[in-house]
Amino acid sequence: MTRYPRNMIGYGPERPDARWPGDAKIAVQFVLNYEEGSENNILHGDAASEAFLSDIAGAAQWPGQRHWNMESIYEYGARAGFWRLHRLFTGYDVPLTIYGVATALARSPEQVEAMKDAGWEIASHGLKWVEHKDMPEDEERAAIAEAIRLHTEVVGEPPRGWYTGRCSANTVRLAAETGQFAYISDTYDDDLPYWLDLGGREQLIIPYTLEANDMRFAVSPGWIEGEQFYTYLKDAFDTLYVEGIAGQPAMMSVGLHCRLIGRPGKIAGLKRFLDYIGGFDGVWTPRRIEIADHWAATHPPVRPSLVPSRMDEAAFVAAFGSVYEHSPWVAERAFALELGPAHDRPAGLANALARVFRTAGDAERLAVLRAHPDLAGKLAAARRLTAESTGEQASAGLDALTDAERARFTELNDAYTARHGFPFIIAVRDNTKASILAAFERRIGQESEAEFAEACRQVERIARLRLEGLL
| Residues carrying an active site annotation | 372
Report the distance separating Cα 422 and Cα 98, nearest Å: 67
- DSSP letters, 7-58, are -S-TTTTS------GGG-SEEEEEEEEE-TT-BS-GGGT-SB---SSSSSTT
Residue 338's DSSP bridge partners are 2
- DSSP letters, 178-197, are TT--SEE------SS-EEEE
Q: Which helix (H) or strand (E) holds 253?
A: strand 250-257
Taking phi over 0 as left and psi of -120 to 50 as alpha, with beta for the rest, 45 belongs to left
Give the chain's end-to-end CA distance (angstroms, integer). 21
- DSSP letters, 262-292, are TSHHHHHHHHHHHHHHTTSSSEE---HHHHH
Residue 203's DSSP bridge partners are 196
Asked if residues 243 and 202 have their Cβ atoms less than 8 Å apart, the reply is no
Q: Where are the alpha helices (DSSP H) in 396-447?
A: 403-420, 433-443
Asked if residues 82 and 115 have their Cβ atoms less than 8 Å apart, the reply is no
Q: Where are the alpha helices (DSSP H) in 336-432?
A: 346-359, 362-371, 378-381, 387-395, 403-420
Residue 136's DSSP bridge partners are none
Compute the Cα dihedral for 443, 449, 453, 456 and give only its sign: positive
From the list 251, 257, 327, the residue with the least C-alpha distance to 283 is 251
| Burial 172-196, CB ≥16 within 10 A → b, else e | bbbbbeeebbbbbbbbeebbbbbbb
